[in-house]
Every structure is written in structure tokens, then in C-alpha cells.
Amino acid sequence: MRKSTTIPSRFLNLSNDFEFAGWGTILHLQLEGSDYEAGEARIKQNDETKVLGQFTASALAGNAVLGSVFYALPAVVGVASVYSPISLFIATLTLFIWRPIMEELGSALPICGAPYSYILNVSSKTLALLGAALLFLDFASTSVVSAATATSYLAGEVMLPFPDFVGTILVLAIFTLVSLSGIKESARVALYVLTLHLITMTILIIAGAVHWASIGNDQIKENWHDGKASSASEIAKQTFNGFCLGMLGLTGFECTPAYIARIKPGRLPLVLRNLHYPAIVLNCVLMMLVLAIVPLETILEGDNILSLLAEKAFGKGLRLYIAVNAIIVLCGGVLTGILSACELLEQLTLDRLIPRSFSRVIPLTNAPYVSVLSFIAFSGIIYASTGAQLSIVSKMRVTPHKFSLVWLVVMSLFPLALLLLKFNRGRLSRTPNTPFWVVLLAMALVPIVFAGNIIVDPTTAGYFAAYLIVIVIFFSATQNKTHILKWIYGIYDQFPSLHRMSFTKSWGEKIIDLMRTLKRQPVCILVRTDEINRLFQMIMYVRDNEETASVKIVHFIDEEFGVPSELEANARILDEAFPEITIDLIIVTGTFNPINVAALAHRLSIPPSLMFMNCPGPTFKYNVADLGTRIITL
């Protein structure tokens, strides 16, 4: 029996009957053996995905973080001159503020796609969508800058038989194939690349230190004389500008939480430590060696600063070796961007923000080929658009400036997510407990550095805004498909002549059928109590954030207390209160645990990512990631 209403149609010539759903039902459900088998298989599969130890997990992001010295150092010298080591040291120290924030978030919500997944569990889906757009742009810029800088390094050493942009495309293509081999194999490749990079940088530091000792301090004194500022205010300005661009030396750090569900439990703090300390050493020590050995005018003219350092310290042989290493490790940065983006797109698919086709995988490697190819295509578009503006062949060294704002805003999502978590989901069990002032300090630093980067290169704001708007529009369209169709239906309603023409008279029915199809996927609300105010808040969340006309309220029977006395009555009230949603009540025999939730997901054909619950307290036995559900209320 359909619901009816006396409210007139909002449309002048067409009916709005399609907006009313059917009556809900009450069902007592007993899970079967096949459901439990499917649930256990899902739990086992989730456990088997935790394949990354501290070193392989460090390697996936490490090539981007530690490979950034190849493009960060030239950028910093260009604005900070001889004060570059100070700027870089201050910039790398800022991660001591972010690390406890990222560790606390990872402990509370070890879910892939972070910080998008963090915001999704502590705030609205709209804010999470903005975070997803920023993340996607950040991962794309990581891949593009790494690939383009690798090609630039190669072009600086040998005469290429093709334009630089062809080399960048080849790099992206090669590492697309590598990423299609699967995440475990890709992590091993990344670990080999990072190991080679660390060995190479160690050799370069030793060679540079020996050469510095042999030539004395004449060169660094000369550079100091040529590059020192004329006043204290100028020193502060150059140091601050260098600090702002010095953040480029930390790009890739934000990628680690994106694949946290693949990391073995308890390893995230070790991974962040493994990335942070080498970043401090490489950025600061190498910058000092460059200023002590290479003339300042040569530094400012050359793109391949570390190659110049190697040649001065040991000869052309070491220069060639450094160039080869730069190309390899920067290619590893491409891999970091691809894999991080795939984890994000998988989470977006589970949350129905993008089509299910993005989750299609290659059977042999289990690699999400649609996600990989889509990401590479978008990265190619970004590269082409910047090339049209920047004259890539001669000015590749300034390309990182265009994406520095993206990284900064993405990093601001972590303290924002933790701030929301402390207020909205404070009952979640987690360690460590970051002091409130640290979170506020991180949030205060971002706009300061953001403004500094715009002052250094105002065009960054234009690029940042243009790319972000495009991605937000795409994600918004995929999230609001039925709203867009309803607008189309309304426009169709305004032209009565179309309702009579043989070719167009069925358009209204087709639009309605498509809307009903899109809203057919049910979602599940897992409840413990019968308090109608809590149930109402959860239904409101679904109405405002999900495209569905079917909600199933599920309660697992507690053998000691039974079914809450007002649950059935309140479910019927809510079914009446929301005529556009069919609200079913399902009473499930069993305890609330990960296996039973997974078994229920199999029985109802609802993925755990579309099962919503209240925030669990500190005594709750399971981690949210074990359940795979989303937290939507306190």
C-alpha cells in the first residue's frame, strides 16, 4: 500500500507521486549459516589486506617525501638565498606538530581514504566531499610533479630525442603498469627504490662533507657575501618565504593515512617517524652542502642542484649516478600518488560518491584498473594545462609552486578532522590524546603559510582554485544525481508541449524510473536504544547525505534485555514522518560484533560502508574499522 498525502504537487503539469515511498515493515530475522560464512570470509579478507609493515608502508610515501629534495631545494634557494638551511629546518620541524594529530586520528579511525574518511565519520558528507576533492588533486599533483621533475633531471644530463612532455607521459605510463601489478608488489618496488635513494643520498652527503673539509669555508663565505640580505626585515622576509616553500620538502607525508587500512596495526607512528627524521636530515644537510660547495649564481641558474653538488664534490661519475637516482626515486613518487588515489577512489565507491565501475579489478593482481586509468588521465589533463601556461621545457622547476597550496590545505584537514572528532566523537577510544593547543597551532600555521606561498607566486591561487572547482563539481554531481534529475524533471514540466509529442512524451516516466533506480539501494541504521530523538537524528542524516528511499533500522537482540519497548512504535512514527523514505525495522537475533555485522551485510546485500551507527564509547570491544561501518551521530 502506497503512502498518500494531501500536499499538492510542486510541479504544474506533472505528478509528484514518485516522491512517496511504500510503507515500512517489521521483521524478525535469524541469520543463516551461509550468512555467517560470508561474514567470516569478509573479516578474513579485511585482515589479509593488512600486508604493509613499517618499512614497506614507509616506502610507499617515502619516495614522495624524500624525493622532494630534488624540486624543493631549488624552489627554496630561489626565495631564501643563503638563509635556505634555516628555512628548511623550521619547515621540517613543523611535522612534530602534525605527527601526534595524525597518530590520534589513525588510532581512532584506521580507515583508508583519510583524511576524507576521517571527516566523513566526524562531520557531514558535504565537507567530506570537499576533503576528497582536495586529496584527489593533491595525489594527482604529487604524480605530475614527480614525473615532470624526473624528466627534467634526465633532460639536464642528456639530450633527449623527444620533447620533455613525452618523457613525462612515458613515466606516467610505465608506473601505471607497475601499479596495475597490485599494492603488495608495488610496495616492494617502492621499498627497493627508497633503499637505493637513501644509500645514494648517504654517499652524496659523505662526498660533500669530505670535499667541504678539503676546500674550507671560502665558497660558503663568498655565497654569504653575495646572498646576504641588507636589513633585518629583509632577512626575516627571505627566511619566511623559504619556510613557506620549504613545505614542498614534506609533500607525500599526507599520503600515508590514505592507505592506513593496509598497514599492520600499531605501525603508523613508526611509519611517520621513518619519514620525518630522514626528511629533516636530507633537506637541511644537503642544503648546507650545496651552499658550501656550489657558487650561488650557479645554484640559482641550475635546475639539477644535487647533480651540481655531486659533480663539484666527486666528479661527473657521481653526478650521473645522482641523476639516475633522482629519476628513479621521483618515479617512485608517481607510484605514491597512484596508489593513494586508488585507495581514496575505492572508499568513494563504497560510499556511493562515484560509480561502482571504479571498483572493478584485474582478477590476477586485484588492482583497480578503472581507478588507475582514470587517475592517470586526470593527471595528464593537469600536466597539459600547466604546460600551456608554463613553457615546460625551460621552466619545469617552478611547477611545484603551482601545487604547494594543495598540499597545505590537505594538511589542514588533519587538525580540522581531529578538532571535529574531539567535539563530535569524543567518546572514541584512541591514543595518543593530542593537547588542544597543538591542534589549534596546526590550524593557525596553515593560513600563514598559505598566504606566504601566494605572495611568493600569486598564480598558485588561480591554479589551485581552477582544479579544485572542477573536481568538486564532478563529485557534487555524482553525489546529487537524483537532485539533478529532479531539476531536469522540473524543467520538462515547464514545457507542456513536450508532454504531447510522441518523441518526448515518455521522458517524464524515464526520468522517474531513473530516479527510483538510483534511490533503490538501501542503507542500514544500527541502533541500540529506542530513543526517538536519536533515531530521528540518524534518519535526518540519511535524508540529507544519502540518495536512498529505503532505510532499514536494525537492532541486535540483547538476550538479557530483549527488544527496547518503544522501538517498534517509534519506527512506525518515523515511517509516517518521512513519507519520501520507506523505513523498515529489523530485529536480528545475535550479538553486535564484526562477524554478525558482516553476515547481516551479506543477508541484506548492503555493504558495511552503508551501515551507520552511533559513536561507540571507550568500553566498546571493537574498532570501527573492524566493523566497516560509518559513525554518523554522537
State whether 535 and 619 are in the same domain. yes
pTM for the full predicted model: 0.86
Q: Would you say 147 and 309 are in contact if contact means Cβ atoms under 8 Å apart?
A: no
Query: Is 308 exposed, middle or buried, given 0-12, 13-18 or 19+ CB atoms closer than 10 A?
Result: buried
Q: Would you say 547 and 520 are in contact if contact means Cβ atoms under 8 Å apart?
A: no
Question: What is the per-residue pLDDT for 386?
Answer: 66
State whether 485 and 541 are in the same domain. no
Encode pLDDT of 195-221 as tens digits. 999 999 999 999 999 999 999 999 999
Question: What is the per-residue pLDDT for 349?
Answer: 86
Q: Looking at the domain assignment, is residue 5 inside a domain?
A: no
Q: Would you say 298 and 308 are in contact if contact means Cβ atoms under 8 Å apart?
A: yes
Encode pLDDT of 226-278 as tens digits. 888 888 889 998 899 888 888 877 888 888 887 888 888 888 899 999 999 99
Q: Crossing angle of helices 84-93/69-80, nearest 10°?
A: 120
Q: Which helix (H) or strand (E) holds 624?
A: helix 624-627
In angstroms, the Cα distances linking 310 to 73, 181, 317, 366 are 15, 35, 8, 41
Q: How many domains does the chain have?
A: 3
Q: Would you say 39 and 597 are in contact if contact means Cβ atoms under 8 Å apart?
A: yes
State whether 495 and 610 are in the same domain. no
Q: Looking at the domain assignment, is residue 603 inside a domain?
A: yes
State whether 183 and 105 are in the same domain. yes
Q: Looking at the domain assignment, is residue 400 inside a domain?
A: yes
CATH number for the domain spanning 559: value is 3.40.50
Give me the chain's average pLDDT, please: 83
Instruction: Check residue 158 and report its DSSP letter.
Output: S
**DSSP string covering 562-585:** -S-TTHHHHHHHHHHH-TTSEEEE
% of the chain with per-residue pLDDT over 70 = 92
The number of angstroms, rounded, from the C-alpha of 479 to the middle of its chain's C-alpha atoms is 17
pLDDT for residue 2 is more than 60: no
Q: Looking at the domain assignment, is residue 362 inside a domain?
A: no
Range from 234-238, 347-351, 474-478 that averages highest in pLDDT: 234-238
Q: Looking at the domain assignment, is residue 557 inside a domain?
A: yes
Q: Looking at the domain assignment, is residue 352 inside a domain?
A: no
Q: Looking at the domain assignment, is residue 369 inside a domain?
A: no
Question: What is the per-residue pLDDT for 16?
Answer: 66
State whether 141 and 221 are in the same domain. yes
Question: What is the per-residue pLDDT for 400?
Answer: 53
In whole angstroms, what is the distance from residue 562 CA to residue 572 CA? Answer: 19
Which residues span the domain enclosing 588?
17-30+519-633
State whether 472 and 485 are in the same domain. no
In whole angstroms, what is the distance from residue 207 CA to residue 211 CA? Answer: 6
- Residue type at 534 in one-letter notation: R
pLDDT-based confidence at residue 303 (cuts at 50, 70, 90): low
pLDDT-based confidence at residue 616 (cuts at 50, 70, 90): confident
In whole angstroms, what is the distance from residue 97 CA to residue 76 CA? Answer: 22
In whole angstroms, what is the distance from residue 548 CA to residue 580 CA? Answer: 9
pLDDT for residue 480 is more than 60: yes
Q: Looking at the domain assignment, is residue 26 inside a domain?
A: yes
Question: What is the per-residue pLDDT for 11?
Answer: 65
pLDDT for residue 395 is more than 50: no
State whether 567 and 618 are in the same domain. yes
State whether 523 and 435 are in the same domain. no
CATH number for the domain spanning 329: value is 1.20.1740.10
State whether 257 and 223 are in the same domain. yes
Question: What is the per-residue pLDDT for 174?
Answer: 83
Encode pLDDT of 80-106 as tens digits. 889 999 999 999 999 999 999 999 998
Q: Would you say 414 and 122 are in contact if contact means Cβ atoms under 8 Å apart?
A: no
State whether 218 and 235 are in the same domain. yes
Question: What is the per-residue pLDDT for 133?
Answer: 87
Encode pLDDT of 25-56 as tens digits. 888 888 888 888 888 888 887 777 777 888 88
Closest-CA residue to 134 (of 545, 463, 381, 471) = 471
Question: What is the per-residue pLDDT for 406?
Answer: 81
State whether 61 and 201 are in the same domain. yes
- What would the grid cell of residue 589 be? 537475533
> In what order do the strands lie in the sheet containing 523-526?
26-29, 582-589, 550-557, 523-526, 611-614, 630-633
In whole angstroms, what is the distance from residue 109 CA to residue 111 CA? Answer: 5
- What would the grid cell of residue 592 be? 553486535
Question: What is the per-residue pLDDT for 401?
Answer: 53
**DSSP string covering 335-390:** HHHHHHHHHHHHHHHHTTSS-GGGG---TTT---HHHHHHHHHHHHHHHHHHHHHH
Query: If you average pLDDT over residues 386-405, what whole number do you get?
Result: 46
Question: What is the per-residue pLDDT for 246?
Answer: 83
Question: What is the per-residue pLDDT for 67?
Answer: 84
Encode pLDDT of 400-443 as tens digits. 555 677 888 888 999 999 999 998 888 888 888 889 999 999 99
State whether 89 and 211 are in the same domain. yes
Encode pLDDT of 281-302 as tens digits. 999 999 999 999 988 888 887 6
**DSSP string covering 457-508:** -THHHHHHHHHHHHHHHHHHHHHTHHHHHHHHHHHHHT-HHHHHSTTTTTHH
Q: Please indicate whether residue 273 or residue 346 has the higher confidence score (pLDDT).
A: 273
Q: List all residues 6 or more positions away from 70 whose beta carbon is below 8 Å from its beta carbon.
A: 149, 153, 304, 306, 326, 329, 330
In whole angstroms, what is the distance from residue 193 CA to residue 188 CA? Answer: 9
In angstroms, the Cα distances linking 575 to 203, 310, 530, 610 are 70, 72, 14, 19
SS3 591: coil
Helices of type H across 247-315: 268-293, 296-301, 305-314
Q: Would you say 339 and 185 are in contact if contact means Cβ atoms under 8 Å apart?
A: no
